[in-house]
Structure 1
């Protein structure tokens, strides 16, 4: 007997990036595809020591069920870091620990979205958010990203539509484009958001990975006081495998999110939370982040310089000041999806840009990840892509 699946499953597909990663399991392929931190920078020994310490000091408690809100000392650490690094006053009671920031998106969808509700996203937008909100049969409104943030006229027009529940944005080193909102655009977004029922959701997994330029305050707390919701993660600054993220929110919204999380998984791993807290208190996180920034900054520079040397002049790229990605745009008539097939034959992979668009556009765009390769492989991979692009464009 055939299974009758929920209607929502007909509109949601497998993650295109996850499918690409299966192809890149071949170690001979140089991959710029995944949004992966560099495993050479994982603090393995320090996390091992933290785990041993947790078992020694609180073994039974670390293996027990825990509160849905999350381990209080870890929430206190996050709140104190917001104050120290961003000048933002956040109460530990406003922080909900989640199983990665991806769970934040799932919980927000469960709490906020009915079928047909509208969600504003950036164009191009984060694929994980597109996939998550699609599960709740949201209708997407896209706002073009300019070099310094969203097109404000498009954003205002989108906000004026009916049933717009949220505007989801990655304001620092956006995935996939690598772009960052300027102070002017942040203030402009905040001005448009004030006084509306639409929630601003700021996802900030890459904000601490700035290796050049000047930092900007986050939109949500820096310009909107306590309006909006802020998402964070330890995945890019410590260990993605721990699946530890959080969201900052208060009042009735937090209460509803807690109910949704209780229905999902009761709580995030007690052991992982305690080990992370032990690691954070026994070590200086800023020292570790500096190592990441130094490595990623060099890898980014090598990729940009190699692109300028080997890519055809017709290909345009972003030059991010942090994060893990840059974005390339081919001549308008070309398909990055078609070029992907040729690139794989030459043992190099990237992510075609079309999955980051909900309107099937972006055919001539692609994302390159510079964090998960060494400098030698970056040079060789970009050299192969450049040679392939020259031939691809010449045959177009």
Structure 2
């Protein structure tokens, strides 16, 4: 008897980023592919101490099942932090702890999408969200973007003329993959449009605290008057991704659905991980830790952009992110970043080809670079190698 999978499996493919990370595990490869934090900045010694304290103080509780919603003190800490950093007015009862913010993306798809429903997203958008939503077999409409993010006039045209739009997915702060940030006026206009059409919004905010320059801007959630914005946050980028602790903040009407979904998915996030993260916040200064990350990441961003300026051939454009982990490179339209990637791997340097960030395909002349993970000397060497490969491909195309 032949094995028959569900139809939704036909649309699912391995994450291109995850597959690339397998290729780049060789120590000689300089990888700008993953969105990985700097491992040397993980608070290893502090977490050794924290682990012992948690087990000494509440070992039996830490090793037991706990509530689906999550550890109440941690939810209190998250709400307080959101109110301070994101200008919201939320309480712990608005927070559900998830296994990373990626789980929140999957839950959003499960809660809102039936086959054939429409998702709006920025063009390009985060590949992990695209893959999470694809499991529920929607159609994607990519809203055009410029240097300031999603273009509001284009969004409104789509909303005026399209039926069955079930949700909008956006990353207003240091967007993955482009690194772009929406200015305040665009955020206000977006919420004005959302309140008019009453479409649920997934505001993904994994990088918002990692701002190197400019003023912090209020989240979309802080402007949400109708309970339409679902805010996804995570400790992965500002603390340690290995704990897999993220959260969803939403109105009770929406959050209750997410809680039901989580009960069916995995019952709860790790009890001991939640308690350890909470204890770190109690005993140490998380803001100070984030400042240390920002200092290192800003230096690495500057180093990468300065090296690209000298090593890349003319005719290549790239973004100058004000924070976050990524810059986005656009090549002349006749070049294919997937083809170029093969030569890069031969030279032991890697990036993520840009085509997968467009859910409907059709754009291969771009790629994403991460600057947070590699030390300074490898950033310089990796960009030099990448520049040499790009020069070769530019010359070949010009001579054809």
Q: Is 1:22–2:22 an aligned residue pair?
A: yes
1:165/1:197 contact within 8 Å kept: no
Q: Is 1:69–2:69 an aligned residue pair?
A: yes
Q: Which residue of 2 aligns with 1:2?
A: 2
CA distance in 1, matches of 2:9, 2:119: 18
Following TM superposition, by how much is the alpha carbon of 1:154 offset from its aligned partner in structure 2, in angstroms? 1.6
1:339/1:392 contact within 8 Å kept: yes
CA distance in 2, matches of 1:33, 1:189: 31
CA distance in 2, matches of 1:356, 1:345: 24
1:187/1:223 contact within 8 Å kept: no
CA distance in 2, matches of 1:83, 1:388: 46
Q: Is 1:360–2:366 an aligned residue pair?
A: no
* Partner SS for 1:168: strand
Q: TM-score, normalised by structure 1?
A: 0.98
Following TM superposition, by how much is the alpha carbon of 1:46 offset from its aligned partner in structure 2, in angstroms? 1.3
Q: Which residue of 2 aligns with 1:281?
A: 282
CA distance in 2, matches of 1:372, 1:67: 35
Question: Per-residue displacement from partner, 1:220-271 (whole Å, max 9, x unpaired)?
Answer: 2235564311110000011101100001112221111111000000000001
* Partner SS for 2:34: coil
Q: Which residue of 2 aligns with 1:333?
A: 334
CA RMSD of aligned residues (A): 1.0
- Return closer, same or farther for 1:225/1:213 CA change in 2, 3 Å cut-off: farther
Q: Which residue of 2 aligns with 1:314?
A: 315
Residue range with higher mean Cα deviation, 184-193 or 83-92 = 83-92
- Return closer, same or farther for 1:295/1:102 CA change in 2, 3 Å cut-off: same
1:69/1:97 contact within 8 Å kept: yes
Question: Per-residue displacement from partner, 1:261-282 (whole Å, max 9, x unpaired)?
Answer: 0000000000100000001110
CA distance in 1, matches of 2:47, 2:120: 38
Which 5+ residue runs of structure 2 have no aligned equivalent? none
* Partner SS for 1:66: coil
* Partner SS for 1:195: helix
Residue range with higher mean Cα deviation, 359-368 or 266-275 = 359-368
Q: How many residues align?
A: 396
CA distance in 2, matches of 1:83, 1:129: 25
CA distance in 2, matches of 1:241, 1:158: 39
Q: Which residue of 2 aligns with 1:389?
A: 390
Q: Which residue of 2 aligns with 1:90?
A: 90
Q: Is 1:272–2:273 an aligned residue pair?
A: yes
Q: How does 1:147-226 map to 2 (within 5 A)?
A: 147-160=147-160, 161-222=162-223, 224=225, 226=227
CA distance in 1, matches of 2:313, 2:115: 44
Question: Per-residue displacement from partner, 1:52-72 (whole Å, max 9, x unpaired)?
Answer: 110000000001111000000
1:102/1:128 contact within 8 Å kept: yes
